[in-house]
Amino acid sequence: MSPIVPLTQDPDALFESSQTDELGRSTSFLESRLLRWLAATLMLALLAWMMFFSGKGHDPSSTAMTNTTGALNGTELLVRAYKIPDPNITRTGQRSFSGTLQARYQSLLGFRVAGKIVQRLVEVGDRVRQGQVLFRLDPTDYDLQLQVAQADLEAAKSQLVQIEAEERRLSDLRKTRSASQSDHDLAVAARDTARSRLQAAINREMLARNQREYAELVADQDGLVTRLMAEIGQVVSAGQPVAQWVHGTELEAVVSVPESMQQSLEESQASVEFWSKPGLRIPCKLREISPVADPASRTYDARFTLVDPPDGLSIGMTANVVLYRNQDDGFAIPMGAIAQSQGTPIVWRILDDGKVESIEVQIVKYGSQYARVRGNLGPGDQIISAGVQRIDPQCTVRVWQDNL
């Protein structure tokens, strides 16, 4: 038990004794806390030292096993693989559109003058030659106009001869002062007027002759008649279509494409197939695409010119245009197959013995799930499509799934 302090002891001495005891207890507590912290620090350092040297390993057989298998536990890495397809068999983004076969150059034919049709010399499907007559109008009125113009021309010629003779006589009399200057001036004016009338008569005669020639509708080049819109006995006006024809040898497949395909048409290759000729495929190239959408279907007309079309193709045949990407666009691979090596994109190709090698690639285009790349890759090659962050050149892998 603690000694009993007499009540008569000095209060100041009692307070100093209490402070001394409290300071001693605080010092002992701090020393115990410091000792515990030092002990914990030494234990953590010892544990870290043991883990470092145990993980590093000095067993040569263990090191050989790690380098051979690519894993610390002596097993092969399990990866997913993607097999690059043959672009000649499976074309990425292949689409087809149905349309019709048309000629590049086609037009409506009509007379340049009005009249009544008296002859039709062609049928639908006839091939015509340059200079061949297709239709004829009744030429009676145009023959009469030509005769009138020719008579006016002869009259103008005779009048000019008379007036020129009169002007020459007055010119000779003017030299001997037997005629006045005013009479000679009037004769010169009459001569110039007669010459102008003669030129006008010549032009009217030429116009009447042309009108007579226009009564015959003549093909100005080789072509094919595809439609007739007038018959014998029908009275037509100038410029009214009487026939439709196509000319030239160029054929086109006309299809309608959606708005989303406008930009990719020029980047794609195309070929044409025909429903009535199975097995026939003709390469073609885009010639033009309409800048205005069809108001009903909201699609755009695209024209593809056939390259070296064979004989036997008819206008209006059902044509199927197949679009596919160019082979030089590279290969489509999963996005997860692309890794980075010193800032260069690479893929890991799986060899026959399970080894891997890095192949540098060039990114052509990124997509949502796939990317198009170029590189030293070929159809049938297997590349790692998942887990590329764990791969290094010393790894050995085992394929879990051939294709995604």
| Tens-place pLDDT, residues 50-89 | 766 554 444 433 333 334 344 444 457 888 888 887 655 4
Residue 292 is encoded by which pair of tokens? 């205005």
State which CATH number among 3.40.1010.20, 2.40.420.20, 1.10.10.60, 2.60.40.10 fits the domain covering 66-86+330-401.
2.40.420.20
More confident: 218 or 329: 218
Give the pLDDT confidence score for residue 2 in this predicted structure: 44
Range in 292-296, 343-347, 396-400 the model is least confident about = 396-400
Q: Is the predicted pLDDT of residue 218 greater than 90, yes or no?
A: yes
Give the pLDDT confidence score for residue 113 in this predicted structure: 95
Q: In this structure, are strands 397-401 and 77-83 parallel, antiparallel, or unpaired?
A: parallel
> How large is the greatest C-alpha to C-alpha distance in the chain, in angstroms?
185
Q: Is the predicted pLDDT of residue 231 greater than 90, yes or no?
A: yes
Taking the C-alpha atoms of residue 356 and residue 341, their distance in angstroms, rounded to an integer, is 15
Give the pLDDT confidence score for residue 86 in this predicted structure: 65
Averaged over 42-51, what is the pLDDT? 78
Give the pLDDT confidence score for residue 404 in this predicted structure: 43
**Angle at the Cα of 88 (from 268 to 325), degrees rounded to 5?**
15
More confident: 38 or 253: 253
Q: Is the predicted pLDDT of residue 272 greater than 90, yes or no?
A: yes
353 burial (CB, 10 Å; 0-12 / 13-18 / 19+) is exposed
Which strands make up the sheet holding 235-236, listed edge to edge? Answer: 216-218, 133-137, 115-120, 235-236
Give the pLDDT confidence score for residue 3 in this predicted structure: 47
Task: State in Å, rounded, how far the first CA of the chain is from the last one.
Answer: 85
Q: Is the predicted pLDDT of residue 330 greater than 90, yes or no?
A: no
Amino acid at 137: L
Give the pLDDT confidence score for residue 208 in this predicted structure: 95
pLDDT mean across residues, the chain: 81
For the domain made up of 95-104+248-328, give the CATH fold: Elongation Factor Tu (Ef-tu); domain 3 (2.40.30)
For the domain made up of 139-214, give the CATH fold: Helix Hairpins (1.10.287)
Q: In this structure, are strands 235-236 and 241-257 parallel, antiparallel, or unpaired?
A: unpaired
Residues 6+ apart with CB under 8 A from 349: 356, 357, 358, 359, 377, 381, 382, 383
Averaged over 203-207, what is the pLDDT? 95
Greatest mean pLDDT among 113-117, 184-188, 309-313, 375-379 lies in 113-117
Among candidates 79, 45, 66, 12, which has minimal Cα distance to 382? 79
Q: Are 119 and 234 in contact (CB under 8 A)?
A: no
Give the pLDDT confidence score for residue 75 in this predicted structure: 54
Q: Is the predicted pLDDT of residue 363 greater than 90, yes or no?
A: no
Give the pLDDT confidence score for residue 119 in this predicted structure: 94
Give the pLDDT confidence score for residue 78 in this predicted structure: 81
Q: Is the predicted pLDDT of residue 7 greater than 50, yes or no?
A: no
| Share above pLDDT 90 across residues of the chain, in percent, rounded to a whole number | 33
More confident: 29 or 225: 225
Averaged over 256-278, what is the pLDDT? 84
Q: Is the predicted pLDDT of residue 6 greater than 90, yes or no?
A: no
